[in-house]
């Protein structure tokens, strides 16, 4: 019997990176998985690769009406929602002087507003069927400042504290809904590769990111997925409002 046997898990940003790695892990442990993404081609490719037990829905996570539709679909089709992974995100390689208001707002919409909407509507569904677990994907940049990631640090820091507020609210209301955050450093994901490619000197940026962690390398999406799996499972019933750094010792 799998660690997530027969649980219904919704993962945003599930077409690649941490989201796709988490979908693989959840399926392996017996869950039924719904992934969402703006990348329709990538989402459909993930379903084709992973086979039975997974479904893809196109979603712009910044749109409230689409959140209502997605959660409604999951509940109608599967009867409940046991786990939500708010993984969709984006970065912006700009310092406080170079960042634009438009860029600032976009980064916060994708990273923070989407997490707010996901938590809000997942709670509405979960509390009707006995509870569940929400995992919000923040970043080590939500724990430590980075000079050239002004908007991203702000957004991921907001995700961290939104997680704690959500956890306390659900506990006070006796919803049996846990909410935790994970804080990966630089993992080999498509988003990180985009950051590397966007740098004036890509090779210099890659080496810089590898040196960020005391372990001297970047991690893999599976490193984060394994922690998410634990938090979604019944192995973590007394853990809520916690933050897990998956960072090769960066915050040590």
Q: What percent of the chain has pLDDT over 90?
A: 86
Residue 194 falls within a domain, yes or no? Answer: no
| pLDDT tens-place string over residues 150-200 | 999 999 999 999 999 999 999 999 999 999 999 999 898 887 888 788 888
Overall domain count for the chain: 1
Query: What is the C-alpha to C-alpha distance for residues 210 and 213, in angstroms, rounded to an integer?
Result: 6
Residue 58 falls within a domain, yes or no? Answer: yes
Residue 203 falls within a domain, yes or no? Answer: no
- 152 an active-site residue? yes
Residue 208 falls within a domain, yes or no? Answer: no
Q: What is the pLDDT of residue 93?
A: 84
What is the 3-state secondary structure of 122-182?
HHHHHCCCCCEEEEEECCHHHCCCCCCCHHHHHHHHHHHHHHHHHHHHHHHCCCCEEEEEE
Q: Which of 78, 121, 152, 175 is catalytic?
A: 152
Query: What is the C-alpha to C-alpha distance for residues 57 and 169, in angstroms, rounded to an integer?
Result: 29
The domain in which residue 92 lies consists of: 8-187+220-246
pTM exceeds 0.75, yes or no = yes
CATH number of the domain encompassing residue 164? 3.40.50.720
| pLDDT tens-place string over residues 33-52 | 999 999 999 999 999 999 99
Residue 206 falls within a domain, yes or no? Answer: no
Residue 210 falls within a domain, yes or no? Answer: no
Residue 200 falls within a domain, yes or no? Answer: no
Residue 1 falls within a domain, yes or no? Answer: no
Q: What is the pLDDT of residue 205?
A: 86
Q: What is the pLDDT of residue 191?
A: 76
């Amino acid at each position: 019997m799998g660690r997530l046997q027969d649980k219904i898990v919704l993962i945003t940003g599930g077409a690649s990176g941490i989201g796709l790695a988490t979908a693989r892990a959840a399926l392996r442990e017996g869950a039924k998985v719904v992934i969402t993404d703006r990348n329709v081609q990538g989402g459909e490719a993930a379903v084709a690769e992973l086979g039975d037990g997974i479904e893809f829905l196109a979603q712009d996570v910044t749109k409230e009406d689409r959140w209502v539709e997605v959660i409604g679909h999951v509940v109608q089709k599967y009867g409940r929602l046991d786990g939500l992974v708010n993984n969709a995100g984006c970065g912006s390689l700009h310092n406080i002087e170079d960042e634009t208001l438009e860029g600032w707002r976009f980064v916060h919409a994708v990273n923070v507003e989407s997490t707010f909407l996901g938590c809000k509507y997942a709670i509405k569904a979960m509390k009707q069927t006995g509870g569940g677990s929400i995992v919000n994907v923040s970043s080590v940049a939500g724990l430590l400042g980075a000079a050239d990631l002004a908007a991203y640090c702000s957004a991921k820091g907001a995700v961290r504290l939104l997680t704690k507020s959500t956890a306390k609210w659900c506990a006070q209301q006796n919803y049996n809904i846990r909410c935790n955050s994970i804080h990966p450093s630089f993992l080999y994901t498509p988003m990180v590769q985009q950051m590397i490619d966007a740098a004036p000197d890509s090779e210099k940026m890659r080496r810089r990111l590898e040196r960020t962690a005391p372990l001297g390398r970047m991690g893999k999406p599976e490193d984060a997925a394994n922690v998410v799996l634990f938090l979604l499972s019944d192995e973590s019933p007394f853990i809520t409002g916690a933050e897990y750094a998956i960072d090769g010792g960066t915050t040590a």
